[in-house]
Amino acid sequence: MNLESRIDQYLREYVATVTHTSSSLENNNIKFFESYLGEVDYFKNKPDQWGFYEIKGDYLGRRIPWGLLKGSGEDTVVLIHHTDTVDIEDYGAHQKWAYRPYDLTQHYKDSGLDLEPEIQSDLDSEKWLFGRGVADKDFHKYTERVLMEDLFYHTPRLIDKTIKTILKHHT
């Protein structure tokens, strides 16, 4: 599967996961992140370097996904992620499509909605995808997963160099 197809696959899987903010539904993403981290060879071989941090006393029992990318020295990249995604109430009559961005985008095109000109232009351009979590800060996780897979599956000798480069640019 090519890079674009793999990113698209993770986008579809994550957006389809029902994880509404401040509700017990936030815990639904645990299965996604178990796959997200647990199926990468690096983490399969180092199960003590990823997991879920329990938030003590949290009324919803939420846990934060984390992973450690360790080089051969002391340098480490820490991966953490939040567990919530917006609910779907803002979609009103279009809620049943909110977890399927390609279907939602097509529904918007087919429904003849009276949209703001800029939104209509984006929709007509076919360069934009509409849906919860597809164009916000969560998008990085889809590309991150694919890049991690490529790094760990195809070029494991680059891990140390990658970590050093990342830390050099962020310190």
| Tens digit of each residue's pLDDT (9 = 90 or more) over 18-57 | 888 888 888 888 888 888 788 888 888 889 999 999 989 9
pLDDT for residue 52: 93
- 163: pLDDT strictly greater than 60: yes
| Tens digit of each residue's pLDDT (9 = 90 or more) over 59-76 | 999 898 898 887 777 777
DSSP secondary structure string, 84-145?
A: -B--SGGGGGGGGGTT-HHHHHHHHHHHT----HHHHHHHHHT----STTSSSTTHHHHHHH
Gap between the Cα atoms of 33 and 128, Å rounded: 26
| pTM of the predicted protein model | 0.67
pLDDT for residue 167: 66
Contact 49, 70 (CB under 8 A): yes
